[in-house]
Amino acid sequence: MITEKDLVEAIAECQGQRNPNASTCIKLAAYYTILQNLKGEDRQSKEVMMMPSYSYDPAPSYESDSEFGQIASRNDPNDVLKVVDELMETLRIMQPRLYDAFIRKLTAI
């Protein structure tokens, strides 16, 4: 049987991950749901009350009038980053000063 302590530890482990992915988020949601059901709606403890709330709002989108912005917004962000990464590697070799300036600007965001 899963105990309340086990769930709180599992939640802490998920929240401590540096690069959470979709699987981590799904586990976290399941742990919160199970924990709330264990406690009952009227007996929420301090730990549950202190847990962050999550939004179902869609992720913010980047809107642009440029050709690149319009095409990029229609594609998966990971796929776009792969193509941009290839471009940046070429830029690093052919135009190192421009590449360095871009990296400085990106780091400052």
Class of residue 39 by CB neighbours under 10 A (exposed 0-12, middle 13-18, buried 19+): middle
Average pLDDT over residues 2-12: 83
Residue 19 has pLDDT above 60, yes or no: yes
**Cα dihedral 42→47→48→50 (10° resolution):** 120
- Count, in order, helices (H) and strands (E) of the chain: 6, 0
pLDDT at 41: 47
Spatial CA neighbour of 47 closest among 35, 59, 37? 35
By mean pLDDT, which of 4-18, 32-46, 61-75, 91-105 is the weakest?
32-46
Query: pTM value?
Result: 0.42
Output the six-digit token pair for 79: 């796929």
Residue whose C-alpha is closest to residue 54's, from 19, 15, 17: 15
Of 55, 11, 19, the C-alpha closest to 36 is: 11
